[in-house]
Amino acid sequence: MMMWKKLLVSLYQAVPAISWLRDYNRATFKADLVAGTVVTMMLIPQSLAYALLAGLPAETGLYASIFPLIAYAIFGSSRTLSVGPVAVVSLMTMVALSNVVEQGSTDYLSAAIVLALLTGGILVVMGIFRLGFIANFLSHTVVSGFITASGILIALSQLRHIFGISAHGDTVPDILSTLMANLNGINTTTAALGLLVLAFLFWARSGVVPMLTRAGIEHNNAALIAKAAPVIGVIATILCVWGWRLDTQGVAIVGAIPTGLPVLVWPKVTLALVEQLWVPALSIAIIGYVESVSVGKTLAAKKRGSINANHELFGLGAANIASAFSGAFPVTGGLSRSVVNFDAGAATQAASIYAAIGIALASLYLTPMLYFLPKATLAATIIVAVLSIVDLSILKKTWRYSSSDFRAVMITILGTLLFGVEMGVICGVLLSIGLYLYRTSVPHVAEVGLVENTQHFRNVRRYHVTTNPKILNLRVDESLFFANASFLENLIYNKVYENDQIAHVVLMCSAINEIDFSALEVLEMINQRLAEQGIKLHLSEVKGPVMDALRYSGFGEHLSGNIYLTQFEAFEDLNRATKI
C-alpha cells in the first residue's frame, strides 16, 4: 500500500495536471471554456505576428500555439499561465537565426526548429538538476531594463511594415539608418492602412472600456471585449484589401497560409548547428523562464496560490520540445495573454487546452481567409503589444532608490539598444551577478549602542544610544565568506586605529547565517592581531549552525574574549569590566 502511495505522489509531482483534473467539474469547465475562447481570439493575430517577427512563415505561429499549450498544461505548475510565441523570445529567435542562416531559406526554418528543441532540452535538464533558483541570480531591475529595450527594438523594427519600406538591423542605429535611407520609398496606401490600425488599437486600449461601460456593459466584460480589438483590426483590413484589391497597389499581405494541423517532424539536428545555437538557446531558455515565472507568480498570488519553479522548467521545456516537433520556434509564458486568460476566469490549464483546440480549428478552416491580411496590420498589433512592456519608469524609480541599480538598468538598456539583444542578455547576466557580488563583498556593518531603558542595540548614526569608548560594538548584517571577510577585517582595524581607548571589540552576529573557511581564517587573524594589541575579541548572538561550525573548528578555544548569548549581556558584562 505504501509503495502505491509513493508511486501516486511521484506521479502527482511529475504531472501537475492530475491535481486539477481530480476536482474538475461543470462550473470549472464553463469558466475554462470562456477563457479559452477569449484567449483564442487574441492568439490568432498575435501568433501570426510573432512568427513574422521571428522571420518565419505565418503558419508557424499557429503551430507554436497548439501542441506547446497542451504540453505545458500537462507539465506546468501554474493554472493560469498561457504559453506560446511572445515578442521578446521571437526577437531573440530572429537575431539568433540571422547570425547562422539566411532569412527566408529552408534552412532558416530548420534552424528555428532546432533552436526550440535545444531551448526545451536545456530547460528540462535544468529541471532535472533542480536549477530553478538560477532565476534568482537575474536582478528584476536588469530584466526589466532588457525587456524594455527589447520592446523598443521590436517596435522600431516593425515600422518598415507600417510604411511599406525595406529596413533591417538588430540595433537602434542600424534600424534607424536603414529606415531613413528608404523613406522616399514609403507606400502611402500601406502607411495609411498601418497608421489607421495603429491608431485604432491604441484607442481601443483606453477608449473601448469607458464607451462600453456607458452603454451598460459590466466593466470586466467590457475589458474582455476590448481585448478583441486586434481581431477587429484583422477582419477590417482583410476586407479592405480584398474589396479594393490594395495588394495590387503595393500593400504587402501574408499570402497563402497552408491549411491543416502541424505535421509532426523530427528536427534535423547537426553538430555544427548545435555548436552555433546552444548559447542563444541558453539565453532564450533563461530569459523566457524568468519572464514566465514572474508572470506565473504574480497571477498565482492573486488567488493565494503558488507555482513550483522546478516544475516550471519541465513545463516550459516540454512546451518548447512540443513546438520543435510541431515545426515551430521557441515559446514561453506571455504576460498579455496570461493576464487575459486570468481575467477571463480561467480556473485550470484546461483553458489552454481549449485555446489550443481553437487555434487548431483556425488552422483547419480559417487560414484561407487570412490570405489578404496586410503585414502592416500584424506590425501594428506587435507595436501596441510590445509598447505595453516598455517601462521607462524603472529609470526614475532606480535613480531615486539606488544608484547602482540605476547604472545597471541604464547599461542594460543602452547595451541592448546599441549593440543588440545578445549583448543585452550578456550585459544583464553579468550586471546581475556583478551587483550581487558587489553587495555581498561590501556588507553593511553598523556600530551600535544601547537604546536607553531597553535591551535593544541600534546604529549610533541613526539613534540616540549609550556607548562606551572602550567597547566597539559592531553588528554585521551579512554572512561572512571569502569575498567580504577582508572588508570586515579592514573596518575593525581602522576603527581601532582611530580610537586608542578601545579594549574590547564585540561582533554582534545576529544576521550571520554562515561563515566559510576563508572567513574563519580571517576571524582568527583578527583575533590574533587584536590580542597582540591587548584588545579582546568577543562574539554575541551567534546562531546555532554558526556556533556548531566555530566549535568544531576550535575557534572558541583560541578566542581572546567570550561568546555571549545576547548583545545586552555582552555590553553589561564588559561595561562593568571597563569601569574597574
Is the domain of 455 the same as that of 384? no
Alpha-carbon gap, residue 98 to 7, rounded angstroms: 46
Q: How far is CA 47 from CA 59, 287, 346, 359, 422, in A?
A: 8, 19, 20, 10, 23
Q: How far is CA 497 from CA 500, 501, 530, 535, in A?
A: 6, 10, 11, 12
| pLDDT < 70 positions in the chain | 1-13, 580
Residue 294 maps to a domain? yes
pLDDT at 303: 82
pLDDT tens digit string along 246-257?
A: 999 999 999 999
Total length of the chain: 580
| Inter-residue contact 311 to 77 (CB < 8 Å) | yes
Alpha-carbon gap, residue 85 to 60, rounded angstroms: 10
Is the domain of 423 the same as that of 463? no
Q: Which amino acid is at 389?
A: I
Is the domain of 480 the same as that of 369? no
pLDDT at 194: 95
Query: CA 139 from chain center: how many Å?
Result: 9
| Inter-residue contact 229 to 200 (CB < 8 Å) | yes
Who contacts 184 (Cβ-Cβ below 8 Å, separation ≥6)? none
Alpha-carbon gap, residue 93 to 531, rounded angstroms: 62
Query: CA 529 from chain center: how many Å?
Result: 47
pLDDT tens digit string along 401-414?
A: 988 888 889 999 99
pLDDT at 11: 52
Alpha-carbon gap, residue 374 to 466, rounded angstroms: 75
Is the domain of 534 the same as that of 575? yes
Is the domain of 243 the same as that of 289? yes
Q: Are strands 504-508 and 471-476 parallel, antiparallel or unpaired?
A: parallel
Residue 474, helix vs strand vs coil: strand
Residue 223 maps to a domain? yes
pLDDT at 13: 63
Residue 426 maps to a domain? yes
Closest by CA to 422, choosing from 113, 96, 55, 97, is: 96
The 10 Å Cβ neighbour count of residue 517 is 11
Alpha-carbon gap, residue 481 to 478, rounded angstroms: 9
Instruction: Output b/e per residue, 544-560; b: 16+ Cβ within 10 A.
Output: eebeebbeebebeeebb
Domain-ending residue, one of 381, 406, 436: 436
Residue 6 maps to a domain? no
Is the domain of 76 the same as that of 119? yes
The 10 Å Cβ neighbour count of residue 271 is 7
Is the domain of 20 the same as that of 86? yes
Give burial (CB, 10 Å; 0-12/13-18/19+) of 490: exposed
Residue 4 maps to a domain? no
| Inter-residue contact 287 to 432 (CB < 8 Å) | no
The 10 Å Cβ neighbour count of residue 114 is 23
Backbone angles phi, psi at 539, to 5 degrees: -125, 150
Residue 132, helix vs strand vs coil: helix
Q: Which domain holds residue 231?
A: 13-436
| Inter-residue contact 84 to 68 (CB < 8 Å) | yes
The 10 Å Cβ neighbour count of residue 222 is 18
Alpha-carbon gap, residue 563 to 542, rounded angstroms: 8
pLDDT tens digit string along 18-38?
A: 888 888 999 999 999 999 998
| Inter-residue contact 491 to 477 (CB < 8 Å) | no
Alpha-carbon gap, residue 482 to 389, rounded angstroms: 39
Residue 542 maps to a domain? yes
Query: For the domain that residue 563 is a member of, what is the CATH number?
Result: 3.30.750.24
Is the domain of 537 the same as that of 560? yes
Domain-ending residue, one of 416, 436, 456: 436
Who contacts 483 (Cβ-Cβ below 8 Å, separation ≥6)? 437, 440, 441
The CA-CA-CA angle for residues 275, 122, 430, to 5°, reads 80
Per-residue H/E/C for 24-66: CCHHHHHHHHHHHHHHHHHHHHHHHHHHHHCCCCHHHHHHCCC
| Inter-residue contact 32 to 347 (CB < 8 Å) | yes
Alpha-carbon gap, residue 564 to 297, rounded angstroms: 42
Q: What is the pTM of this model?
A: 0.84
Is the domain of 458 the same as that of 354? no
Is the domain of 70 the same as that of 133? yes
Is the domain of 109 the same as that of 167? yes
pLDDT at 436: 79
Residue 7 maps to a domain? no
Helices 172-181 and 403-419 pack at an angle, to 10 degrees, of: 40
pLDDT at 106: 81
Total count of domains within the chain: 2
Residue 3 maps to a domain? no
pLDDT at 437: 80
Domain-ending residue, one of 385, 410, 436: 436
Is the domain of 363 the same as that of 495? no
